[in-house]
Amino acid sequence: MPKTIFKLDSSKKFGDQEKLGHNRWHPEIPSVATVKPGESFRVDCREWFDGAIENNDSAEDILNAPLLTVHALSGPFHVEGVKPGDLLIVDILDVGPIPQEDDGPLAGQGWGYTGIFSRNNGGGFLTEQFPDAYKAVWDFSGQTATSRHVPGVSFTGIVHPGLMGTAPSAELLAKWNAREGALIATDPDRVPPLALPPESEHAVLGGLDQAEWNRVGSEAARTAPPRENGGNQDIKNFTKGSRVFYPVFVDGANLSLGDLHFSQGDGEITFCGAIEMGGFIDLRVDVIKGGMETYGVSENAIFMPGNVDPQYSEWLAFSGTSVTLDGEQRYLDSHLSYQRACLHAIDYLTKFGYSPEQAYLLLGAAPIEGRLSGVVDIPNSCSTVYLPTAIFDFDVRPSASGPVQIDPGIGAPRAANQK
């Protein structure tokens, strides 16, 4: 086990730890540790809401989730000798829930959660159909996840960091703020919002001089969207064995990461669609000098996925096209066609006794595959979503004998969309 360079105590809040991480992107957030190219190291990660979500049968915590505080990130880590224009190589050697803590109140201590966020506090991919907050708690047993809130399924997780990236330069940060601000200005009162502007009150900026917190906090980018530096890409295939190549924009790269997921379906569709947890990650870093120019990677990381995916070989797939639920034809809208494919999968699963919310939570958390199957056949794009049949305790395939009925159990806890 490599040496831990960012250690967290599960019993302490993010802001009370020995080393303070951050929850915004800004080039002036000082690095918290320095590593050398070729070096391996361990980093502890706090779950993204810093312990606000509890292992219980209520969704009030999801309804009131403190979105301004996310993501609780570990870092930044300075890599010696790395300069803007280089490519930073990051190998994910290992990643998992909080080691040696199988039981406790913090996500990652033997359990994790998936949330459907209320339309007034985050929203999600299908927020028009699912405006209320719901939660599913998942229990971990080795590599396997099961839930008292979504019975009849168990699946192998594909553990990965939802968020990892290098620090932006001042120029890149200014570009983000300008273009996202322009988008917000097109409909500033929209619910959920079109984008998230900087917000200084809840900004955590690591070891930055306190006198600078207001200025830097009012410029620093929120961590929700993926951007040129990587960031919150939520790619489920960033699992152990992966090698990622990040563009570097500041001296030392200033790598940060967090938002560990025990599992996730393609698209992370419920917004907090993965199984969220705290845990550890072992990394090794290296550098390709001048690699951004050499390989044409001036923005957005490239990567080689690891080879320890769950082994599912049989799938039941659903498709959708770019026609709205009201029957309106849209032009090659792949976002819409993926929504329709997911809604078709949800409709199907309700025939087995699941509530629509249980089915939606399952699609967010299980290792489902999503694909853009057709993007040229005007006017309809075609998207598809693939469910591994082996995750179900029963035969989920269509047959002449009809769907078996599961016992939906206590159901997924709900909290009504208010405000």
Question: Which residues lie near Zn ion (CB under 5 A)?
Answer: 162, 259, 274
Q: Which is nearer to Zn ion, 235 or 250 (CB)?
A: 235
The span from the CA of 232 to the CA of 164, in Å, is 7
Sign of CA dihedral 45, 49, 50, 54: negative
Q: Which is nearer to Zn ion, 268 or 357 (CB)?
A: 268
Minimum separation from the CB atom of position 276 to Zn ion (A): 5
Three-state DSSP at 127 gives coil
Q: Let me know: does 300 contact 343? Beta carbons within 8 Å.
A: no
Q: Which is nearer to Zn ion, 50 or 259 (CB)?
A: 259
What are the percentages of helix, strand and coil residues in the chain, rounded to 5?
15, 30, 55
Minimum separation from the CB atom of position 321 to Zn ion (A): 29
Minimum separation from the CB atom of position 43 to Zn ion (A): 16
Contact partners, residue 88, CB within 8 Å, separation at least 6? 79, 82, 166, 245, 246, 247, 248, 253, 255, 285, 286, 287
Minimum separation from the CB atom of position 310 to Zn ion (A): 19
Three-state DSSP at 369 gives strand
Q: List Cα–Cα distances, 123 to 80, 230, 310, 359, in angstroms.
A: 40, 23, 29, 17
Minimum separation from the CB atom of position 231 to Zn ion (A): 12
Q: Which is nearer to Zn ion, 205 or 274 (CB)?
A: 274
Q: Which is nearer to Zn ion, 122 or 152 (CB)?
A: 122
Q: Which is nearer to Zn ion, 345 or 365 (CB)?
A: 365
Minimum separation from the CB atom of position 48 to Zn ion (A): 5
Q: List Cα–Cα distances, 173 to 144, 179, 237, 403, 416, in angstroms.
A: 40, 10, 27, 52, 37
**Bridge partners of residue 270, in order along the sequence:** none
Q: In this structure, how many other beta carbons lie within 10 angstroms of the beta carbon of residue 327? A: 6
Q: Which is nearer to Zn ion, 263 or 321 (CB)?
A: 263
Minimum separation from the CB atom of position 123 to Zn ion (A): 15
